[in-house]
Chains A and B, each alone.
Chain A
């Protein structure tokens, strides 16, 4: 088709003045700016390949179009200019059928895949200024749901194809063949060459016991044959907190306090929070507030001015992100290497919080014995450092605006006095916490040897290591903050290390015989993880300087503790892929895993899978029926497989006793201590006993998922429009549960059991279109996916433990984590409504009316029902990339539709007495119901929650639908002519931003960011500027 068009165009334009000339130019890759060696350049007269520097010279006719193609890249065409040289920049294609995809212990052509495998556009991920590339994955891949917050280390929760279990739902990462479940924020995103998401069981089951939640395969960059390449990237970004809750100011708090008091028939001046009110009742008896009187000082010693503090303002700041990385690589026939170094620093929008990462990577391989033996390594060493938010976001909401940040001397801390709440000054917490960081050193990678025994037969052994070394210091300073006083400082140092060793040995066979293509792998894998931790603390340091506060410098009490854990996995696996004539595809997998975590009766599990594919488009009848320019590729796929989940406590199968001398922190609830001062000494070491922590279960076994996957891959218009449709049914059984239990069982009553089952049915659609209009190249990729979850069975003993009324109404048949509660039916607005309503203790005008669901005339806990589900109807993402000459622009939109969320903030913003009465409240309260404001939907203020409005009801549930512009970026690449003078291959500058716009949210949502309705670290707006350089 395209050839036809080109020919027509050529015919039209050339006509009379067909003139031959030689044109030279370069071909580069867009993302990296690296030259592409071996790209095919085609004119009407000649087809040649580029040299190792991406250069070409080709004979053309003036005015004709040159076409450049390269495996894995979108082809480009350009008109031959009258003079000068040509520069092609190719964009990697995520849909190219010849693309090589790593699928676990082997790699395959994309065209040959039969499982549900998504290839991530890594370039897009890197556009966002986040520490964790996984956070940027949100909306990029159909069926992958990421939730996250704005914390500087960008922690992200990943759910592939919904929630599959009551346990750990995190996917498994395979980085250069080494499995890990640990944090991706510790690795440098710029080292990532490619990322694949294995979504269905037929693709993932080769990873057996840990694959039930899907697998993400990451391959890091390798040196490429050619000359020495140096590439460097830098960006800096500034970020803002734009979604802080709207809180009452000092006057507003007084007004709300007064209103709550008069509504409850109390004297508002009976308070011990420094407010005095002048008020009267007007002729109709309506209470009128005339004036709020505040003292000059809150305390008798006159150290604290009565203030008007905006605590969210006080804890937040403009944040700064900086990132730099450089990589050097080279490759020859004898081997290749890549060295990279990176630095990332994020000073968050909450004061004193921050994260930084220093990383280095060395990937190298050497070919020996005529290239038959390859020995190589991929290693990275990273140091991360973080100061975490000590929990100030909820405190900033609770702190009273009348309390100043500092005392009058500007040094001491403001704090509660008299009858105010006993919450800490959040600014003090941040300031006193700034030295309390952790350092984490992580070494990750593998060494391997690959021996090519004969053509197509390879033996490979690889030893992977994931080693983490964690040191945290926590110094609790002395302070005086209102009546909250601490006279004893204390240092706690915590150390832990984790080592995970993976030794895998595989034999690979890869041959074609005529139309038959066989690709097989068999192997074994051994995994062992050892964790160890301890802490030590000391009280009483004379000086609070961070250079002084080490354990030896303290003079007070010492304390310490520690523990260890270990687990092991032993696996045997095999996989066979078979392709006939590019038309018929089949794949079979089997893996047998043994885990130390399971009861001696059920230690091993077997995980089989198969998948089949049919490329109809390769059939001759299809070719005859349809022109490839209409339907260029069409593949039907079916896969079935079984995967496992073993992510439970290492010692879940055992009955265990522990000595628990102190039993926990008594400030956080009753302790489980086993010590007791039986001699009445009142001090010194106490005799201590044992307590049981859990009941054992020798029959504990794998949690297993089976998934059937139906897929269609298609390419239309000569692969200009490509896409895939997936439908899956995933059934998880024997889910490991640690159910809540009857109190009479005591503290050791818990027991892990296999028992629950659930089902996810889902669909995914991905579409990608690339095209060109004049000099404008554009590419659009969109994806949309959804699933329905339901719990299909639960052991009778725990069926009531996930919501329901405890008798006949339970979660069976409903989505996991469904909400159970009352239905709020607006407010009582007239006496008549009140009189005609069912009995409801505490009801009154302006109070929430609840529905009498069982119709017995009484509102009680039998009137609860299922009132929401936290699962979205669908999620979607849309990526648009435009390239015009040297300018590129990209937009990335991401959305979630139809999820029910619990708006935690509403407990504070809509009620006086549902949560802490002594805490500040949202400014919405000023619009609460009063007889004079009868249309308000916010209940009247009261001093106590007599109507039990803290009951979980639909009042707190809102729609979490949103559509966000996640990222926008505009870049400019210097033209080749300028670059060559500067001895550079590429220089691109760009500006952009993350989360600049919330395009859509549900009308019912009363907060500011539906993505984080609770008190999480806010998602900031980020403005980024950066540069990419290649030498």
Chain B
């Protein structure tokens, strides 16, 4: 009896020494002290890369919805207008609202990427270079990435809150999207790429990391955008010659590297050993059978797969875009009247890049005669026609083509900066600086390569699938090479060369011609596809997306909405 009482009292007493029982450390996670050391630094750098491949069908870092569908190059596609309806409204610029969730989702996801670069940099900055000899190079990589992420934000949303690793987290909410002027924001982005240029090696052992040339390429791109001065209503008011020269210089450095054009245009868009080729200056590295659920696949472009091969037949080249590939007897594009009638693929001359870029009924799918693209592969041709975008797609037989119904993504790399793009940026800078004659060989270099790129375009009988004819500009022979014509030719060339690579809309805004070009496009195109009936681009508004309504609300008025919304 007494013993029992004693036991019970002991039991009660035990608890006085039980305070440490409340120290229950978290399981399977790490505290900041545990991770911030030299062994882990590289992992923060990797984590800053991974957002490149973390997109999904609605938040696509390839920006096909924003760069192509909003331009004259592509229709949204899919089941009908109501399928991904926000993108239908973005395509027609009708009913554009700041509360569209994809706009908020994209904003958030890019800032997640930015925050990973800032976390990595805050640890990198603190570390001793002796303990971590790669410090400078890794800082260069991460600032390259941050520059890239802010570049996306800038071209999409115009003015965004700029936060780098020096800003304490408690101050984030006080930083407005209008704290920096548009130009100051370009300077910040250029600053990151400049740092990358100064610190990145000429060649990287691991292909996923950017080289110095890639940083030069993006620096050129940043300066090029910056050189077209905009007023606060997005009207292009002129050319900043200094910035244009800076773009030219950077492009020169980028081109003066081990990178060069592929022999065949096709190689840029093929999987396997063609990836990370000589023209791919910076790519998103996708992978399959890598221990993740389905693989780190390109979900951002997964909707582009035609219905005949999977789902969901989005990203459909426009008729206007296809017509742009018609060439005259000299193999030159019809700069002014290409859209007067639809191209007749049986009889007209066309630029072979058409068959690399656009899937056309009864032509080969991804260069394979055993997979002929059929009309029946299109999901709703009555609305969106019979073309499909091909660059991001792969052969259904490729082991990189992964079925994860209802989506069918692939693990082929996505090129974010192509040597040809830099060539044309350099040409553009030269033309705007009045040195169009120096631009001519650059444009012709791209066209010559296009002319060579017909080897994979034969049908099952070995004959070409269309009348391919692409020639170079020869002043005095087939063209009068003035600055105006050179500008027109350059802009047309960018469309042909970089079509369906989500460049077009941003190019049009850079040049200050978005309203004019797109409204003219709608005028004709809506007679071909009635879903464009309501389409109308509002100048001084639709050049940029609205700042997401959620972010304005969460910021409690610190953020200012873009004009017009």
Question: Which A positions have Cβ atoms within 8 angstroms of B?
Answer: 265-267, 269-272, 300, 369, 372-373, 418-422, 449, 451, 453, 459, 461, 483-488, 505, 524, 526, 528, 557, 559, 562-570, 572, 594-596, 603, 650-651, 654-659, 661-663, 665-667, 669-693, 695, 740-749, 796-797, 799-801, 804-807, 841-842, 861, 912-913, 916-918, 943-946, 948
Contact = CB atoms under 8 A, between A and B. Distances in A.
B291 interface: yes
Interface string B133-165: 000000000000000000000000000010100
B404 A419 contact: no
A418 B379 contact: yes
Given A688-B47, A861-B98, 10 more contacts: A300-B376, A563-B27, A596-B23, A650-B24, A670-B59, A673-B50, A680-B276, A686-B296, A746-B112, A944-B531
B275 A916 contact: no
B382 interface: yes
B47 A690 contact: yes
17 contacts: A269-B382, A418-B380, A568-B24, A570-B18, A651-B26, A672-B54, A678-B206, A680-B208, A682-B400, A684-B290, A742-B172, A744-B175, A806-B557, A913-B81, A917-B81, A945-B82, A946-B534
A662 B21 contact: no
A353 to B, nearest CB: 23
Contacts of A563: 27-28
A486 B405 contact: yes
Contacts of B56: 666-667, 669-671
A493 to B, nearest CB: 15
B475 interface: no
Given A483-B311, A917-B80, A566 B27 contact: yes
A692 B48 CA distance: 12
A570 B45 contact: no
A743 B54 contact: no
Contact of B307 (A483, A676, A683, A948): A483
A686 B405 contact: no
A743 B297 CA distance: 25
A841 B112 CA distance: 34
B24 A746 contact: no
B401 to A, nearest CB: 11
Nearest to A488: B403
A797 B534 contact: no
Given A564-B27, A690-B47, A594 B290 contact: no
Contacts of B265: none
B111 A662 contact: no
B379 A673 contact: no
B191 interface: no
Given A487-B403, A594-B22, A673-B292, A742 B551 contact: yes
Contacts of B23: 596
B94 interface: yes
A668 to B, nearest CB: 8
B50 A689 contact: yes
B28 A676 contact: no
Contacts, number: 355
A743 B95 CA distance: 24
Contact of A688 (B27, B43, B289): B43
A6 B159 CA distance: 90
B208 A682 contact: no
Nearest to B104: A743
Given A451-B4, A595-B22, A917-B82, A656 B30 contact: yes
Nearest to A419: B380
A163 to B, nearest CB: 23
Contacts of B287: 677, 681-684, 686
Given A565-B27, A667-B404, A689 B105 contact: no
Contact of A451 (B5, B294, B383): B5
A272 B119 contact: no
5 closest cross-chain pairs (CB), A and B: A746-B115, A270-B382, A917-B82, A689-B47, A806-B553
Q: Classify the secondary structure of A's interface with B.
A: loop
A419 B55 CA distance: 25
Interface in B438-491: none
B139 to A, nearest CB: 16
Contacts of B34: 657
Contacts of B40: 690
B530 interface: yes
A570 B115 contact: no
A671 B290 CA distance: 15
A596 B46 contact: no
Contact of B99 (A270, A461, A749, A861): A861
A679 B82 contact: no
Contacts of B551: 742-743
A916 B400 CA distance: 30
A412 to B, nearest CB: 16
B285 interface: yes
B43 A686 contact: no
Contact of A666 (B49, B111, B293, B405): B293
A691 B47 contact: yes
Contact of B88 (A568, A570, A684, A944): A944
Contact of B46 (A270, A567, A674, A916): A674
B417 interface: no
Contacts of A524: 12, 15
Contacts of A686: 287, 290-291, 296
B68 to A, nearest CB: 20
B79 A670 contact: no
B291 A559 contact: yes
Interface string B263-285: 00000000000011000000001
B167 to A, nearest CB: 9
Interface string B199-227: 00000001111000000000000000000
B296 A667 contact: no
Nearest to A506: B12
B311 A422 contact: yes
A422 B78 CA distance: 10
Contacts of B172: 742, 744-745
Given A451-B4, A526-B15, A918-B83, A675 B311 contact: no
- Most chain B CB within 10 A, of A524, A564, A682, A946, is at A682
A65 to B, nearest CB: 52
A948 to B, nearest CB: 6
A656 B310 contact: no
Interface string B394-424: 0000001001111101010100000000000
B210 to A, nearest CB: 11
B323 to A, nearest CB: 21
Interface string B30-67: 11101100001011111111101111101100000000
Given A594-B22, A677-B296, A655 B50 contact: no
B131 interface: no
- Most chain A CB within 10 A, of B27, B82, B376, is at B82
Contacts of B539: none
Contacts of A654: 26, 29, 31
A841 B564 CA distance: 14
Contacts of A373: 1, 4
B5 to A, nearest CB: 7
A675 B48 CA distance: 10
Contacts of B53: 673, 676-677
Nearest to B160: A744
- Most chain B CB within 10 A, of A372, A655, A690, is at A690
Nearest to B313: A419
- Most chain A CB within 10 A, of B47, B105, B286, is at B47
A943 B289 contact: no
Interface string B535-559: 0000000000000111111111100
B11 interface: yes
B495 interface: no
B50 A675 contact: yes
B50 A676 contact: yes
B273 to A, nearest CB: 10
Contacts of A483: 307, 310-311
